[in-house]
Amino acid sequence: MSRDPGGTGGQAGAPVAAGPASIRNVLVVGAAGAGKTTLVERLLVHAGVINRAGTVEDGTTVCDAEEVEHRQRRSVGLALAPLVHRGVKVNLLDAPGYVDFVGELRAGLRAADCALFVLAANEGVDEPTQALWRECAEVGMPRAVVVAKLDHARADVDGVVTQARDAFGERVLPVYLHEGGRLVGLITGDHEHDAQRAALIEGIIEESEDETLMDRYVGGEAIAPELLLRDLELAVARASLHPVIPVDAISGAGAGELLDLVVAAFPSPLEHRMPRIFTPAGAPGPELTCDPSGPLLAEVVKTTTDPYLGRVSLVRVFSGTVLPDDTVHVSGHRSVWTTGGDPTSSHPDHDEDERIGSLSVPVGKSQRPVHSVTAGDLCAIGRLSRAETSDTLSSVETPLVLEPWRMPDPQLPVAIEVLSTSDEDRLGSGLQRLAAEDPTLRVEHNEETHQIVLWTMGEAHADVLLDRLATRYGVAVEEVELRVPLRETFVGPASGLGRHVKQSGGHGQYAVCSIEVEPLPQGSGFEFVDRVVGGAVPRQFIPSVEKGVLAQMARGAGTGHPMVDLRVTLTDGKAHSVDSSDMAFQTAGGLALRDAATGGGTCLLEPVDEIQVLVADALVGTVMGDLSARRGKVLGSEPTGEAGLVTIRAHVPQLELRRYAAELRSLSHGTASFTRAFSHYDRVPDQVAARLGPPD
C-alpha cells in the first residue's frame, strides 16, 4: 500500500484487508453549510462507489436520505458512506453541522477514530465552528482540516488557513497548497514553498520518536518521505498536529490526495482509545484491544426505523466479530447516561439476551449485506428490537457495558396534542420509538399540567421530531402553548367557615367547621392543628376535616392551582348525632378553605430555575440585560477555563424560559448555551398574575 499522499487515483473495488489495520473510520465535521455532504459525494465518486455526484439542493446525495433532509436542504442525522481506497476501507461518517443535532455529532465521535474538519473557503472560522472544534478536542479526537468550496467567488484558502491557525493553534499545518486549480504537496513537492514546507516538516519531526531526526534535518540531511509520513501519522493519532488539505468538491481537485492522506496518515482502529469497560454489576471490566478474535464488544451508535426492515442499529465493533443470527447480550444505561450520571454507580436499566438479524453496510438508503463484521468496523444490524442508541452488545457468556458517552441536556420544551383522538394510542408507541432512536429527546408526561412535553435541542430538532412522528409512525400532532406548574398560597392569616348541611328527606348530611389559615415559609409543607374544645367536632371527624382541606389544597382554593405551605387550625364546629359523617366533614373542610381564600388573601407562586449561561465575553452585557428583562436575578459571573468564555448564573422564572433555548441562540448567533435546574418557587408579580388564568 502506497503511503505517499501525493499519489493520485483510487482503486475502486480493491479488496479490503481482513483486519482493523486496513480500516479508517472518519467523521466528517463542520458548521452547517460548510460543504461536508458535497465533499463526501465527491470522495464516493472518486472511489467509484457512485457514478455521479448528487447535490444537496436536489436532494440526491447519498448521505441525506430522509425526506426531511431533502425539504430542509441540510443533514439532520449521522450517515455512513463507506468506500475503498488503495485496499483500505474508509468509513465516512457525515455528521450534521447545525447545533440542534449535536447528539448526532457526539455519536459520530464515539464511532470514529479521526475527524475530518471541513471549513468553507468563503466563510472563515466563526464561533459555531470553534464550538465544533472544542467538541472534538474535549474527547481527544484526532483532527485533520479540509478547506472546501474552492470554486466560490470569495474563496480565500490562505486566509482561512490563517484564521484556523489563530483559532485552533499553530499545529494546524498545510500538507498541500492549492495553486492554479491543482494541488502542490509539501512533503514530496518542490522547493518553491520552502517556508511552508519547513514549517510542516519541523512540526512532524517534533512528534517523531526518533530523537536524531531533528538533528539530521537541521544538519541539512534530506529526510525520506516515508519517515515523514510515519511520523505524520503518529502526530495525527496523538491529536498534536492537524494537517490541512484543500479540496474542490466540484472539479474533484484534491479528492485523490485527501484519500491518500486518510490512508497514509489517519489512525486506524488499532490506535483508538477503548472506552472504559464495566460488568453489568458496575465492576471494572477486562482490558480489551481491537482484536477480531477477542470477546465481542460493540456499541449501538445510532438507531433508525426502516419501513421495510424495521429497527436498524448502526454499530461500532470494538472487539471480536459479529455474525448474522448471533445471540448477543444487550446492556443499556439509558436512564443514567442521558442525565450525565456515573455509570459505575448504577446497574443497566435493561440487561437481556437478543438474537440479531442480518448484517449489512448502509450506503444511503440501500443496504449491502455482509457475512461478518470484525473489530474496528461499522455495520448495520437488523431486528435488534430492544437495543437502543448507546447500548452495549457483548457475548452472552461474558456480558459487558461500555462507559456511556456524554449527551447534552435538551432545553427547549415543546407541548404537543394529537390532532385526532384516534391517534392517542399510537402516540405513546411513536414517542417511545423516537426516544429510543434519539437520546437528545426527553419525553415528559406532566401529571400536573396534563401535557405531553417533548424536551428538544431547539426548533429545528423539534421540527424534525414532529415530522418523523407523522411520517414514520402516522401520528399527526400540533404544538400547543406550554403550561408551567404554578402554585398558590396565602399572603397572610385568614379565617374560613365550612358549612355542609343537607337534611331534606332520608339520611341527611351535616358538618360545620371553622378554621384559621396562615402561610408558612417556603418549603414547609402543610401543618394541621386541632384546637377544638368541648367536643364541638367529634374526635372521629377531626381527621376528616384535615383530609378535606388537603383535597381542596390539591385542587386549589383561589385560582385553581395547588396550594402549598400552609398551617390550618381547626378552631370550632358543629355536628349532628345522626347526619354527621366522615364525608360530610371532608366536604366542610374543603369549603372552609375556599371560604378563607375568597377575600383575595391568596397569591400565585411560580417555579424559578437556576440557569448557567456559557457565553463569549463580548456578549456578557447583552445576555445579562436580556435575563433582567425576563425578571431574572443575576447571581454572578466568572470566566471559564477557556479563553474568552464566561459563565453567568441567574435565577429566572420558568414562565420566562419557555422559548429561551431558541431566543438565546438568536441573541448570541448560535454561540451561547445554557443549563437549567429547578431552584425554588417565588411569588408572581401582580401584573403578571393578572395575565394568567386558571389551569386547563
pLDDT at 189: 61
pLDDT at 503: 75
Distances (CA, A) of 569 to 520, 521, 531, 551: 13, 16, 7, 16
Spatial contact of 632 and 667, defined as CB atoms under 8 Å apart: no
At 296, the amino acid letter reads: L
Spatial contact of 56 and 65, defined as CB atoms under 8 Å apart: no
CATH number for domain 488-600, candidates 3.30.230.10, 3.40.50.11540, 2.30.30.830, 1.10.287.370? 3.30.230.10
Q: How many residues does the chain have?
A: 696
pLDDT at 316: 97
The span from the CA of 518 to the CA of 504, in Å, is 36
At 537, the amino acid letter reads: V
**20-191+242-271 topology per CATH:** Rossmann fold (3.40.50)
Top CATH class, 604-689? alpha beta
Confidence of residue 370 (pLDDT cuts 50, 70, 90): very high
pLDDT at 486: 94
Read off the pLDDT of each residue in 224-245 and give the average, rounded to a whole number: 93
Q: For the chain, first and last CA: distance in Å? A: 70
The span from the CA of 329 to the CA of 354, in Å, is 6
The C-alpha cell at 8 is 493520485
Distance of CA 274 to the CA centre of its chain: 22
CATH fold match for the domains 20-191+242-271 and 488-600 = no
Read off the pLDDT of each residue in 613-625 and give the average, rounded to a whole number: 94
Measured torsion, CA atoms of residues 442, 445, 449, 455, in degrees rounded to the nearest 10:
10
Distances (CA, A) of 387 to 80, 212, 475, 579, 663: 19, 52, 23, 61, 35
φ, ψ of residue 73 in degrees (nearest 5): 60, 45
pLDDT at 350: 74
Spatial contact of 19 and 321, defined as CB atoms under 8 Å apart: no
Burial (CB count <10 Å: 0-12, 13-18, 19+), residue 224: exposed
Spatial contact of 103 and 35, defined as CB atoms under 8 Å apart: no
The span from the CA of 616 to the CA of 375, in Å, is 42
The span from the CA of 545 to the CA of 582, in Å, is 8
pLDDT at 308: 72
DSSP label at residue 563? B
At 380, the amino acid letter reads: A
Top CATH class, 289-402? mainly beta
pLDDT at 349: 65
Read off the pLDDT of each residue in 282-310 and give the average, rounded to a whole number: 90
Confidence of residue 222 (pLDDT cuts 50, 70, 90): confident
Average pLDDT, the chain: 89
Read off the pLDDT of each residue in 648-673 and give the average, rounded to a whole number: 94
**Superfamily the domain 413-480 falls into:** Elongation Factor G (Translational Gtpase), domain 3 (3.30.70.870)
What pLDDT digit, counting tens, does each position of 543-585 carry?
999 999 999 999 988 788 999 999 999 999 999 988 999 999 9
pLDDT at 405: 86
The span from the CA of 157 to the CA of 119, in Å, is 10
Strands 172-174 and 242-246: parallel
For helices 255-265 and 225-237, the axis angle rounded to 10 degrees is 80
Q: What is the CA radius of gyration of the chain?
A: 32
State yes or no: pLDDT of 315 exceeds 60.
yes
Distances (CA, A) of 228 to 177, 183, 214: 18, 19, 11
Spatial contact of 247 and 150, defined as CB atoms under 8 Å apart: yes
State yes or no: pLDDT of 70 exceeds 80.
no
pLDDT at 7: 38
pLDDT at 669: 85
The span from the CA of 515 to the CA of 549, in Å, is 10
Distances (CA, A) of 120 to 38, 163, 473: 12, 12, 37
**3-state secondary structure at position 463:** helix
State yes or no: pLDDT of 590 exceeds 80.
yes
State yes or no: pLDDT of 480 exceeds 90.
yes
pTM for this one? 0.86
Name which of 13-27, 123-137, 214-228, 604-618 the model is least confident about. Answer: 13-27
The span from the CA of 459 to the CA of 445, in Å, is 20
Burial (CB count <10 Å: 0-12, 13-18, 19+), residue 424: exposed
Name which of 219-233, 390-404, 516-530 the model is least confident about. Answer: 219-233
Domain boundaries, the chain: 20-191+242-271, 289-402, 413-480, 488-600, 604-689
pLDDT at 18: 58
The span from the CA of 322 to the CA of 260, in Å, is 29
Q: Where are the beta strands (DSSP E) in 242-319?
A: 242-246, 277-278, 297-306, 310-319
State yes or no: pLDDT of 293 exceeds 50.
yes
State yes or no: pLDDT of 345 exceeds 90.
no
Confidence of residue 696 (pLDDT cuts 50, 70, 90): low
What pLDDT digit, counting tens, does each position of 149-177 carry?
998 999 999 999 999 999 999 999 999 99
The span from the CA of 597 to the CA of 476, in Å, is 42
* Share of residues in the chain with pLDDT > 70 (%): 93
Measured over the CA atoms of residue 614, residue 69, residue 124 and residue 252, the dihedral's sign is positive
* pLDDT top residue among 272 and 451: 451
Read off the pLDDT of each residue in 428-437 and give the average, rounded to a whole number: 90
